């Protein structure tokens, strides 16, 4: 077994991190006196605090190990997940959707569905989201254990329990408040702990151009080879990228996934809430220069027989997720290795804490209080939030073993998102912009949309039918199947919701004021000059996005 040789200084750095994180949770417990403090951090955060936490909650195992490993597998096409697959959706959330979310004073996304539609739609989404969150939560435990087990030599089970108990400790103590504060610390740890990988890789190879020149053409561009799936590493057509990833999966995740949206709910006012995803978008656009670039460096080194760089293999199968830890081992001296490993652990724990804090909120409000105990007091809900945190972490340990059985955590994640987030985005979009969409239309459209996505996944996995039926291409690609499955699930949910709404009872317009565009008076930020409004920041973000796509076309 290969392991990173940690010195005494490295171990001290890692130990200080774990003690510090638990200490923050213990310190913030004194400020967690109400259920709003526990579930929404008291709604006191600035846009910068909420924005950094918003992004950090997304900086889990998928971002670090998964994206670097998939860059090694697919090339620069993975940058689409950061640019077209994130920025337009984050801007849309801040400009158009956040006013309805924040102003309605909901504590969760299912809470909006109750107000806009009815209780059954809320509970359906609450249950689906809770299951999805625990499945995704297992990924972070699995990835964290992968690092501790494979590179530090720790026992697999001990590795998972150590990470699980740490997250359980600080989230249970003060809920979202401690999660957000530790996520901000983890954000800077990740940047300062990992950016040297890219810098030292560029120094070793020579320049960014030399790195790109060492790659095949199918791996060193973003769009120029997308018209022919056989010419790019991801084996996907540009339509699949735009419709499946850029529209459905991206908007479905960033605008409806309570894991990240919950951070914006913690902002102190509507303007801060709208600015939260907009400020986060700039850091999101910069992340490929750490994660994607590290993967490209790994490809360039592995193509050089004199470099001595080779990914780990497990039973003859290449472990793509080992790319980033091996680069840390290659470039970092004693002391810095401890910082690099701590940055990885911070990323996993940020993702895990985000999932668990979102789970305990949805379980407590949208399932427990909504169905099981409608008369629960605030103090009882605070107690239930802490109990559900412990239970959620324990269940996550089980889902971690399931995540381990998947060939890559990226395939696992995209499959889950296509089951839940893709059809939910159709429901949210229709409900927020068309007043005549009915509760029954929303409920049954969502049910059929989720089931259709799951059926398509099973059909491809067990070869009930050829995936070309979904992807409309003779080329076989797991990622293409993920993107197109999400698109078809969205279309099915969108169309069925409209059809059923035409024949079922509509809610009165008076009940939808504040929940639907066109029925709601919008005066937010009208007193500010344009350069200080969220819309101005959104324009800057989109312009930078366009420039980046042109530069790496």
- Provide the pairing of β-strand 317-318 with 313-314: antiparallel
Cα–Cα dist 311/466, whole Å: 32
Q: How confident is the model at residue 83 (pLDDT cuts 50, 70, 90)?
A: very high
| Model confidence pLDDT, tens digit, residues 209-230 | 888 888 887 788 888 888 888 8
Element housing 318 (H / E) = strand 317-318
pLDDT for res 198: 87
Element housing 503 (H / E) = none
Instruction: Pick the more confident residue, 356 or 331.
Output: 331
Q: What is the mean pLDDT of residues 379-400?
A: 81
Percent of the chain with pLDDT over 70: 83
Cα–Cα dist 252/414, whole Å: 11
Q: How confident is the model at residue 350 (pLDDT cuts 50, 70, 90)?
A: low
Residue position matching structure tokens 């592995």: 302
- CA-based nearest residue to 87, from 289, 291, 288, 284: 284
| Model confidence pLDDT, tens digit, residues 479-518 | 778 888 889 999 999 999 999 999 999 999 888 887 888 7
Q: Is residue 383 part of a domain?
A: yes
pLDDT for res 514: 78
Q: How confident is the model at residue 314 (pLDDT cuts 50, 70, 90)?
A: low
Q: Which two tokens stand for residue 532?
A: 């200080």
Q: Which two tokens stand for residue 240?
A: 């699949």
Asked which of 244-253, 271-280, 309-318, 501-510 is least confident by mean pLDDT, the reply is 309-318
How many C-beta atoms lie closer than 10 Å to residue 474's C-beta? Answer: 9
| Model confidence pLDDT, tens digit, residues 116-159 | 898 888 888 888 888 888 887 777 777 777 777 666 677 767 77
**Mean per-residue pLDDT of the chain:** 79
Decide if 184 contacts 56 (C-beta within 8 A). yes
Q: Is residue 115 part of a domain?
A: yes
Cα–Cα dist 365/420, whole Å: 19
Buried-exposed string 175-191: b where 16+ CB fall within 10 A, e elsewhere: bbbbbbbbbbbbbebbe
308: left (phi over 0), alpha (psi -120 to 50) or beta: left
pLDDT for res 28: 63
pLDDT for res 1: 40
Q: What is the mean pLDDT of residues 71-90?
A: 89
Q: Residue 1: which residues within 8 A CB-CB, separation 6 or more? A: 150, 153
pLDDT surpassing 70 at residue 104: no
**pTM more than 0.85:** no
Q: What is the CATH number of the domain that holds 168?
A: 1.20.1730.10
pLDDT for res 41: 47
pLDDT for res 2: 46
pLDDT for res 538: 93
pLDDT surpassing 80 at residue 247: yes
Q: Is residue 66 part of a domain?
A: yes
pLDDT for res 409: 64
Strand ranges (E), 205-314: 313-314
pLDDT surpassing 50 at residue 468: yes
Q: Is residue 180 part of a domain?
A: yes
Quote the DSSP letter at residue 369: I
Q: Is residue 251 part of a domain?
A: yes
Q: Residue 215: which residues within 8 A CB-CB, separation 6 or more? A: 75, 76, 296, 299, 300, 303
What's the structural domain count of the chain?
1
Question: What is the CB-side half-sphere exposure of residue 42 using CA atoms within 13 A?
Answer: 16
Q: Is residue 315 part of a domain?
A: yes
| Radius of gyration for the chain, computed over Cα atoms and rounded to the nearest angstrom | 23
Partners of 318 in the β-ladder:
313
pLDDT for res 56: 74
Instruction: Pick the more confident residue, 74 or 10.
Output: 74
Q: Residue 359: which residues within 8 A CB-CB, separation 6 or more? A: 130, 133, 134, 137, 388, 389, 392
pLDDT for res 547: 94
Residue position matching structure tokens 């040789």: 5
75: left (phi over 0), alpha (psi -120 to 50) or beta: left
pLDDT for res 523: 67
Cα–Cα dist 168/283, whole Å: 28
**Domain assignment of residue 320, given as a range:** 8-21+40-401+517-551
Q: Is residue 469 part of a domain?
A: no
Q: Residue 30: which residues within 8 A CB-CB, separation 6 or more? A: none
Cα–Cα dist 312/65, whole Å: 13
Q: What is the mean pLDDT of residues 516-545?
A: 82
Q: Is residue 493 part of a domain?
A: no
Instruction: Pick the more confident residue, 517 or 78.
Output: 78
Cα–Cα dist 121/259, whole Å: 19
Decide if 365 contacts 35 (C-beta within 8 A). no
pLDDT for res 88: 94
Decide if 327 contacts 355 (C-beta within 8 A). no
pLDDT for res 33: 57
Winning range, highest mean pLDDT, from 39-48, 160-169, 276-285, 391-400:
276-285
pLDDT for res 265: 76
| Model confidence pLDDT, tens digit, residues 181-218 | 666 777 777 777 778 888 888 998 888 888 888 888 77
pLDDT surpassing 90 at residue 404: no
Q: Which two tokens stand for residue 362?
A: 């949805």
Distances (CA, A) of 456 to 399, 477, 481: 22, 14, 9
pLDDT for res 87: 94
Cα–Cα dist 403/398, whole Å: 9
Q: How confident is the model at residue 540 (pLDDT cuts 50, 70, 90)?
A: very high
Burial of 2 (0-12, 13-18, 19+ CB in 10 A): exposed
How many C-beta atoms lie closer than 10 Å to residue 375's C-beta? Answer: 6
Partners of 45 in the β-ladder:
267
| Model confidence pLDDT, tens digit, residues 14-67 | 788 777 766 766 666 665 555 554 545 445 667 777 777 777 767 765 677 778
| Model confidence pLDDT, tens digit, residues 168-183 | 765 665 555 556 666 6
């Amino acid at each position: 077994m290969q392991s990173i040789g940690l010195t005494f200084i490295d171990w001290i750095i890692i130990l200080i991190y774990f003690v510090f994180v638990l200490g923050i949770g213990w310190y913030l417990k004194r400020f967690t006196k109400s259920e709003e403090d526990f579930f929404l951090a008291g709604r006191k955060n600035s846009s910068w605090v909420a924005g950094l936490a918003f992004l950090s909650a997304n900086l889990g195992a998928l971002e670090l190990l998964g994206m670097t490993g998939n860059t090694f597998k697919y090339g620069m096409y993975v940058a689409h997940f950061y640019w077209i697959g994130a920025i337009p959706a984050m801007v849309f959330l801040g400009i158009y959707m956040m006013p309805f979310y924040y102003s309605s004073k909901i504590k969760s996304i299912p809470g909006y569905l109750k107000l806009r539609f009815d209780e059954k739609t809320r509970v359906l989404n609450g249950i689906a989201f809770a299951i999805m969150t625990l499945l995704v939560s297992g990924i972070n435990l699995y990835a964290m254990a992968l690092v501790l087990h494979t590179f530090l030599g720790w026992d697999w089970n001990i590795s998972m329990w150590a990470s699980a108990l740490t997250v359980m400790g600080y989230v249970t103590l003060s809920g979202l408040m401690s999660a957000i504060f530790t996520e901000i610390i983890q954000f800077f740890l990740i940047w300062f702990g990992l950016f040297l990988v890219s810098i030292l890789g560029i120094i070793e190879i020579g320049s960014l151009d030399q790195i790109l020149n060492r790659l095949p053409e199918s791996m060193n561009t973003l769009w120029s080879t997308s018209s022919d799936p056989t010419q790019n590493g991801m084996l996907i057509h540009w339509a699949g990228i735009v419709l499946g990833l850029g529209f459905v999966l991206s908007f479905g995740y960033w605008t409806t996934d309570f894991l990240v949206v919950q951070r914006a709910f913690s902002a102190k006012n509507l303007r801060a809430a709208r600015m939260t995803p907009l400020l986060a978008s700039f850091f999101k656009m910069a992340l490929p220069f750490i994660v994607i670039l590290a993967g490209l460096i790994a490809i360039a080194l592995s193509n050089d027989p004199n470099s001595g760089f080779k990914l780990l293999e497990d039973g003859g199968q290449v472990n793509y997720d080992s790319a980033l830890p091996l680069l840390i081992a290659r470039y970092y001296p004693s002391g810095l290795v401890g910082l690099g490993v701590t940055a990885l652990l911070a990323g996993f724990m940020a993702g895990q804490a985000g999932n668990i804090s979102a789970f305990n909120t949805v379980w407590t409000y949208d399932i427990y209080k909504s169905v099981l105990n409608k008369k629960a007091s605030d103090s009882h809900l605070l107690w239930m939030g802490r109990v559900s945190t412990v239970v959620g972490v324990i269940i996550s340990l089980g889902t971690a073993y399931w995540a381990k059985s998947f060939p890559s955590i990226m395939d696992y994640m995209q499959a889950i998102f296509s089951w839940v987030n893709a059809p939910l985005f159709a429901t949210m979009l229709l409900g927020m912009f068309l007043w005549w969409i009915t509760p029954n239309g929303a409920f049954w459209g969502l049910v059929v949309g989720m089931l259709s996505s799951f059926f398509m996944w099973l059909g491809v996995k067990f070869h009930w039918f050829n995936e070309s039926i979904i992807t409309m291409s003779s080329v076989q690609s797991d990622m293409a199947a993920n993107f197109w499955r999400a698109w078809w699930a969205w279309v099915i949910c969108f169309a069925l919701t409209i059809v059923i709404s035409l024949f079922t009872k509509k809610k009165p317009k008076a009940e939808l004021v504040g929940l639907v565009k066109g029925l709601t008076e919008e005066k937010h930020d009208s007193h500010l000059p344009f350069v200080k409004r969220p819309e101005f920041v959104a324009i800057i973000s989109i312009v930078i996005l366009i420039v980046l796509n042109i530069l790496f076309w």
